[in-house]
Amino acid sequence: MDNRKAILKILNLTKSLEGLKVVDSVSIDIARGRITGLIGPNGAGKTTLFNLISGLLRPDKGEIWFEDKRIDTLPSWQIARAGIGRLFQDIRIFRKLSVLENILLADPNHPGELPLNLFFNYRNIARIEQKHLESAEYWIEFVGLEGKKDSPAGSLSFGQQKLLAIARLLAGGHKFLLLDEPTAGVNPAMIKSLLNLIQRIVKGGKTVLFIEHNMNVVLKIADWVYFLDEGRVTSFGRPEEVLGDTEVRKAYLGV
Ligand SMILES: Nc1ncnc2c1ncn2[C@@H]1O[C@H](COP(=O)(O)OP(=O)(O)OP(=O)(O)O)[C@@H](O)[C@H]1O
Ligand SMILES: [Mg+2]
Protein backbone atom coordinates (compact mmCIF):
# COMPACT_ATOMS: atom_id res chain seq x y z
CA MET A 1 0.00 0.00 0.00
CA ASP A 2 1.18 3.51 -0.80
CA ASN A 3 1.94 5.14 2.55
CA ARG A 4 1.22 8.61 1.22
CA LYS A 5 -2.39 7.57 0.98
CA ALA A 6 -2.64 6.57 4.65
CA ILE A 7 -5.18 8.52 6.70
CA LEU A 8 -4.15 6.71 9.90
CA LYS A 9 -0.73 5.39 10.82
CA ILE A 10 0.00 3.26 13.85
CA LEU A 11 3.61 2.67 14.82
CA ASN A 12 4.75 -0.04 17.21
CA LEU A 13 1.73 0.22 19.44
CA THR A 14 1.82 -1.79 22.66
CA LYS A 15 -0.70 -2.06 25.47
CA SER A 16 -0.85 -4.41 28.44
CA LEU A 17 -4.01 -4.97 30.46
CA GLU A 18 -3.68 -6.71 33.81
CA GLY A 19 -0.19 -7.87 32.95
CA LEU A 20 -1.16 -9.34 29.59
CA LYS A 21 0.21 -7.82 26.35
CA VAL A 22 -3.11 -7.35 24.58
CA VAL A 23 -1.70 -5.21 21.76
CA ASP A 24 1.89 -6.08 20.94
CA SER A 25 4.07 -3.88 18.68
CA VAL A 26 1.29 -3.26 16.18
CA SER A 27 2.11 -1.16 13.12
CA ILE A 28 -0.62 -0.52 10.57
CA ASP A 29 -1.46 1.96 7.80
CA ILE A 30 -5.05 2.63 6.86
CA ALA A 31 -5.62 3.67 3.25
CA ARG A 32 -7.63 6.85 2.83
CA GLY A 33 -10.98 6.46 1.09
CA ARG A 34 -10.88 2.67 1.37
CA ILE A 35 -12.45 -0.08 3.47
CA THR A 36 -10.03 -1.98 5.70
CA GLY A 37 -11.06 -5.07 7.63
CA LEU A 38 -9.55 -6.09 10.96
CA ILE A 39 -9.99 -9.78 11.66
CA GLY A 40 -8.73 -12.25 14.23
CA PRO A 41 -9.87 -14.71 16.90
CA ASN A 42 -11.84 -13.70 20.00
CA GLY A 43 -9.59 -11.90 22.43
CA ALA A 44 -7.00 -11.04 19.75
CA GLY A 45 -7.04 -7.38 20.80
CA LYS A 46 -9.20 -5.89 18.02
CA THR A 47 -11.55 -3.86 20.22
CA THR A 48 -8.60 -2.85 22.40
CA LEU A 49 -6.93 -1.44 19.29
CA PHE A 50 -10.10 0.58 18.61
CA ASN A 51 -10.03 1.80 22.22
CA LEU A 52 -6.46 2.97 21.71
CA ILE A 53 -7.27 4.74 18.43
CA SER A 54 -10.29 6.49 19.89
CA GLY A 55 -8.47 7.53 23.05
CA LEU A 56 -10.40 5.44 25.57
CA LEU A 57 -7.11 3.73 26.44
CA ARG A 58 -3.58 5.11 26.42
CA PRO A 59 -0.83 3.04 24.78
CA ASP A 60 2.18 1.96 26.86
CA LYS A 61 4.40 2.45 23.82
CA GLY A 62 4.07 3.53 20.22
CA GLU A 63 2.41 6.27 18.24
CA ILE A 64 -0.88 6.89 16.44
CA TRP A 65 -1.05 9.50 13.69
CA PHE A 66 -4.27 10.71 12.11
CA GLU A 67 -3.50 12.70 8.99
CA ASP A 68 -0.69 14.99 10.19
CA LYS A 69 -1.63 14.94 13.83
CA ARG A 70 -0.29 12.72 16.57
CA ILE A 71 -3.39 11.65 18.47
CA ASP A 72 -2.26 9.05 21.03
CA THR A 73 -1.82 11.74 23.65
CA LEU A 74 -5.15 13.48 23.01
CA PRO A 75 -8.34 13.03 25.05
CA SER A 76 -11.06 11.07 23.27
CA TRP A 77 -13.28 14.10 22.62
CA GLN A 78 -10.45 15.79 20.70
CA ILE A 79 -9.87 12.63 18.69
CA ALA A 80 -13.57 12.58 17.82
CA ARG A 81 -13.44 16.25 16.90
CA ALA A 82 -10.44 15.58 14.66
CA GLY A 83 -12.76 13.34 12.63
CA ILE A 84 -12.66 9.81 14.05
CA GLY A 85 -16.10 8.35 14.79
CA ARG A 86 -16.83 4.98 16.29
CA LEU A 87 -19.61 2.43 16.20
CA PHE A 88 -19.46 0.41 19.42
CA GLN A 89 -20.06 -3.32 19.63
CA ASP A 90 -23.02 -2.52 21.92
CA ILE A 91 -24.26 0.44 19.81
CA ARG A 92 -24.98 3.06 22.56
CA ILE A 93 -27.97 4.99 21.32
CA PHE A 94 -30.55 6.85 23.41
CA ARG A 95 -33.35 4.29 23.47
CA LYS A 96 -36.10 6.58 24.73
CA LEU A 97 -35.40 9.35 22.24
CA SER A 98 -36.69 9.23 18.69
CA VAL A 99 -34.51 8.43 15.72
CA LEU A 100 -34.53 12.11 14.73
CA GLU A 101 -33.64 13.26 18.25
CA ASN A 102 -30.74 10.81 18.36
CA ILE A 103 -29.36 12.31 15.15
CA LEU A 104 -29.91 15.89 16.29
CA LEU A 105 -27.65 15.12 19.24
CA ALA A 106 -24.77 14.57 16.83
CA ASP A 107 -24.05 18.25 16.39
CA PRO A 108 -21.44 18.52 13.61
CA ASN A 109 -19.61 21.20 15.56
CA HIS A 110 -19.25 18.99 18.58
CA PRO A 111 -18.91 15.48 17.25
CA GLY A 112 -17.08 14.17 20.27
CA GLU A 113 -19.35 15.48 22.96
CA LEU A 114 -22.85 14.81 24.12
CA PRO A 115 -24.42 18.22 23.75
CA LEU A 116 -27.28 17.48 26.13
CA ASN A 117 -27.67 21.11 27.15
CA LEU A 118 -27.97 22.07 23.54
CA PHE A 119 -30.49 19.34 23.05
CA PHE A 120 -32.72 20.32 25.95
CA ASN A 121 -32.63 23.99 24.99
CA TYR A 122 -33.82 22.97 21.60
CA ARG A 123 -36.35 20.44 22.70
CA ASN A 124 -38.97 22.29 20.73
CA ILE A 125 -38.30 21.02 17.22
CA ALA A 126 -39.73 24.17 15.64
CA ARG A 127 -36.93 26.20 17.16
CA ILE A 128 -34.13 24.04 15.88
CA GLU A 129 -32.17 25.59 13.08
CA GLN A 130 -33.66 24.53 9.78
CA LYS A 131 -30.28 23.47 8.43
CA HIS A 132 -29.54 21.25 11.38
CA LEU A 133 -32.90 19.56 10.93
CA GLU A 134 -32.47 19.15 7.20
CA SER A 135 -29.05 17.61 7.69
CA ALA A 136 -30.43 15.16 10.25
CA GLU A 137 -33.22 14.19 7.87
CA TYR A 138 -30.73 13.77 5.05
CA TRP A 139 -28.68 11.26 7.03
CA ILE A 140 -31.78 9.40 8.25
CA GLU A 141 -32.80 8.93 4.63
CA PHE A 142 -29.24 8.06 3.62
CA VAL A 143 -29.26 5.05 5.97
CA GLY A 144 -32.84 4.14 5.02
CA LEU A 145 -34.63 4.95 8.29
CA GLU A 146 -36.98 7.64 6.95
CA GLY A 147 -40.04 5.59 7.88
CA LYS A 148 -38.83 5.44 11.50
CA LYS A 149 -37.92 9.09 12.03
CA ASP A 150 -40.27 9.63 14.96
CA SER A 151 -40.09 6.16 16.51
CA PRO A 152 -38.25 5.66 19.79
CA ALA A 153 -34.81 4.28 19.02
CA GLY A 154 -35.43 1.44 21.48
CA SER A 155 -38.31 0.17 19.31
CA LEU A 156 -36.03 -0.44 16.32
CA SER A 157 -34.60 -3.84 15.43
CA PHE A 158 -30.95 -4.39 16.38
CA GLY A 159 -29.91 -3.89 12.75
CA GLN A 160 -31.89 -0.69 12.45
CA GLN A 161 -30.25 0.54 15.65
CA LYS A 162 -26.90 0.01 13.96
CA LEU A 163 -28.11 2.04 10.98
CA LEU A 164 -29.11 4.77 13.40
CA ALA A 165 -25.75 4.73 15.18
CA ILE A 166 -24.00 4.99 11.80
CA ALA A 167 -26.29 7.87 10.74
CA ARG A 168 -25.28 9.64 13.93
CA LEU A 169 -21.60 9.28 13.05
CA LEU A 170 -22.29 10.65 9.58
CA ALA A 171 -24.28 13.58 10.94
CA GLY A 172 -21.37 14.28 13.28
CA GLY A 173 -19.18 14.93 10.26
CA HIS A 174 -16.57 12.26 11.01
CA LYS A 175 -14.38 11.34 8.05
CA PHE A 176 -12.88 8.16 9.48
CA LEU A 177 -15.24 5.54 10.89
CA LEU A 178 -14.30 2.69 13.21
CA LEU A 179 -17.02 0.04 13.06
CA ASP A 180 -16.81 -2.74 15.64
CA GLU A 181 -18.62 -5.78 14.23
CA PRO A 182 -21.24 -3.87 12.23
CA THR A 183 -22.96 -7.01 10.96
CA ALA A 184 -22.93 -9.07 14.17
CA GLY A 185 -26.36 -10.08 15.41
CA VAL A 186 -28.33 -8.83 12.41
CA ASN A 187 -30.30 -10.81 9.81
CA PRO A 188 -29.02 -11.50 6.27
CA ALA A 189 -31.25 -8.87 4.63
CA MET A 190 -29.99 -6.26 7.07
CA ILE A 191 -26.38 -7.36 6.51
CA LYS A 192 -26.94 -6.57 2.83
CA SER A 193 -28.27 -3.10 3.66
CA LEU A 194 -25.36 -2.46 6.02
CA LEU A 195 -22.77 -3.48 3.43
CA ASN A 196 -24.43 -1.33 0.81
CA LEU A 197 -24.42 1.55 3.28
CA ILE A 198 -20.72 1.12 4.12
CA GLN A 199 -19.89 1.12 0.41
CA ARG A 200 -21.91 4.29 -0.18
CA ILE A 201 -20.19 5.98 2.78
CA VAL A 202 -16.79 5.25 1.27
CA LYS A 203 -17.91 6.39 -2.19
CA GLY A 204 -18.73 9.69 -0.48
CA GLY A 205 -15.03 10.07 0.40
CA LYS A 206 -14.89 8.67 3.92
CA THR A 207 -12.60 5.95 5.23
CA VAL A 208 -13.76 2.84 7.11
CA LEU A 209 -11.91 0.44 9.39
CA PHE A 210 -14.15 -2.39 10.54
CA ILE A 211 -13.80 -5.40 12.81
CA GLU A 212 -15.53 -8.48 11.43
CA HIS A 213 -15.96 -12.16 12.13
CA ASN A 214 -18.02 -12.94 9.00
CA MET A 215 -15.47 -13.78 6.30
CA ASN A 216 -18.02 -13.48 3.48
CA VAL A 217 -18.52 -9.88 4.51
CA VAL A 218 -14.77 -9.28 4.55
CA LEU A 219 -14.37 -10.80 1.08
CA LYS A 220 -17.26 -8.74 -0.23
CA ILE A 221 -16.33 -5.24 0.91
CA ALA A 222 -12.78 -4.99 2.28
CA ASP A 223 -10.07 -3.47 0.07
CA TRP A 224 -7.39 -4.45 2.60
CA VAL A 225 -7.28 -6.79 5.59
CA TYR A 226 -5.17 -6.98 8.73
CA PHE A 227 -5.11 -10.19 10.72
CA LEU A 228 -4.49 -9.81 14.44
CA ASP A 229 -3.54 -12.81 16.57
CA GLU A 230 -2.68 -12.56 20.28
CA GLY A 231 -2.07 -8.82 19.93
CA ARG A 232 0.20 -9.05 16.89
CA VAL A 233 -0.39 -8.34 13.23
CA THR A 234 0.58 -11.58 11.52
CA SER A 235 -0.86 -11.02 8.07
CA PHE A 236 -1.81 -8.10 5.82
CA GLY A 237 -2.96 -7.84 2.23
CA ARG A 238 -5.92 -8.20 -0.07
CA PRO A 239 -8.79 -10.20 1.49
CA GLU A 240 -8.25 -13.29 -0.68
CA GLU A 241 -4.53 -13.33 0.16
CA VAL A 242 -5.01 -12.97 3.91
CA LEU A 243 -7.83 -15.49 4.09
CA GLY A 244 -5.77 -17.89 1.99
CA ASP A 245 -2.73 -17.56 4.27
CA THR A 246 -1.92 -20.93 5.86
CA GLU A 247 -1.09 -19.42 9.25
CA VAL A 248 -4.30 -17.40 9.28
CA ARG A 249 -6.32 -20.45 8.37
CA LYS A 250 -4.69 -22.45 11.15
CA ALA A 251 -4.96 -19.73 13.80
CA TYR A 252 -8.44 -18.55 13.00
CA LEU A 253 -10.43 -20.74 10.74
CA GLY A 254 -9.08 -23.97 12.18
CA VAL A 255 -8.46 -25.45 8.75
N1 LIG B 1 -10.40 -3.75 30.55
C2 LIG B 1 -9.71 -4.88 30.44
N3 LIG B 1 -8.98 -5.36 31.46
C4 LIG B 1 -8.29 -6.51 31.35
N5 LIG B 1 -8.26 -7.25 30.25
C6 LIG B 1 -8.96 -6.84 29.20
C7 LIG B 1 -9.74 -5.64 29.22
N8 LIG B 1 -10.33 -5.47 28.02
C9 LIG B 1 -9.95 -6.54 27.30
N10 LIG B 1 -9.13 -7.35 27.99
C11 LIG B 1 -8.51 -8.59 27.49
O12 LIG B 1 -7.73 -8.22 26.37
C13 LIG B 1 -7.81 -9.23 25.36
C14 LIG B 1 -8.29 -8.62 24.07
O15 LIG B 1 -9.64 -8.22 24.20
P16 LIG B 1 -10.42 -7.50 23.02
O17 LIG B 1 -11.75 -7.13 23.54
O18 LIG B 1 -9.58 -6.41 22.48
O19 LIG B 1 -10.52 -8.67 21.94
P20 LIG B 1 -11.28 -8.73 20.56
O21 LIG B 1 -10.26 -9.09 19.54
O22 LIG B 1 -12.08 -7.51 20.33
O23 LIG B 1 -12.24 -9.99 20.75
P24 LIG B 1 -13.75 -10.27 20.23
O25 LIG B 1 -13.60 -10.75 18.81
O26 LIG B 1 -14.21 -11.38 21.12
O27 LIG B 1 -14.55 -9.02 20.38
C28 LIG B 1 -8.70 -10.32 25.93
O29 LIG B 1 -7.86 -11.28 26.49
C30 LIG B 1 -9.49 -9.60 26.99
O31 LIG B 1 -9.87 -10.50 27.99
MG1 LIG C 1 -14.11 -7.08 20.18
The CA distance from 108 to 124, in Å, is: 19
| Cα 178 to middle of ligand 2, angstroms | 12
Average pLDDT over residues 52-71: 97
Average pLDDT over residues 3-25: 93
As beta bridge partners, residue 39 has 227
Tell me which of 46, 57, 180, 227 to substitute to probe ligand 1's pocket, judged by most ligand atoms within 8 Å of the beta carbon. Answer: 46
- The pLDDT of residue 133 is 87
pLDDT above 60 for 127: no
Average pLDDT over residues 55-75: 97
CATH of domain 1-83+175-255: 3.40.50.300
- The pLDDT of residue 216 is 94
Average pLDDT over residues 213-230: 96
| Cα 204 to middle of ligand 1, angstroms | 32
**pLDDT tens digits, 68-122:** 899 999 999 999 999 999 998 777 889 999 999 999 987 655 433 445 555 555 5
Minimum-distance ligand 1 atom for the alpha carbon of 40: 21
Q: Looking at the chain, which residues constitute the CATH 3.40.50.300 domain(s)? A: 1-83+175-255, 92-174
Strands laid side by side in the 20-31 sheet: 20-31, 6-17, 61-66, 69-70
Residues contacting ligand 1 via CB (< 6 Å) = 17-18, 22, 40, 42-48
pLDDT above 90 for 145: yes
- The pLDDT of residue 5 is 81
pTM for this predicted structure: 0.90
Average pLDDT over residues 214-233: 96
Considering the domain delimited by 92-174, tell me its CATH architecture: 3-Layer(aba) Sandwich (3.40)
Phi (first) and psi of residue 142, to 5 degrees: -55, -40
| Cα 89 to middle of ligand 2, angstroms | 7
Write the residue with the smallest CA distance to atom 1 of ligand 1.
Answer: 17
Residues 126-153 as b or e (16 or more Cβ within 10 Å = b): eebeeebbebbbebbebbebeebeeeeb
C-alpha distances in Å from residue 195, one per residue of 36, 114, 136: 13, 28, 21
More confident residue, 142 or 109: 142
Helix 158-171 and helix 130-142, axial crossing angle in degrees, nearest 10: 140
- The pLDDT of residue 131 is 79
- The pLDDT of residue 232 is 97
| Cα 47 to middle of ligand 1, angstroms | 7
Average pLDDT over residues 178-201: 96
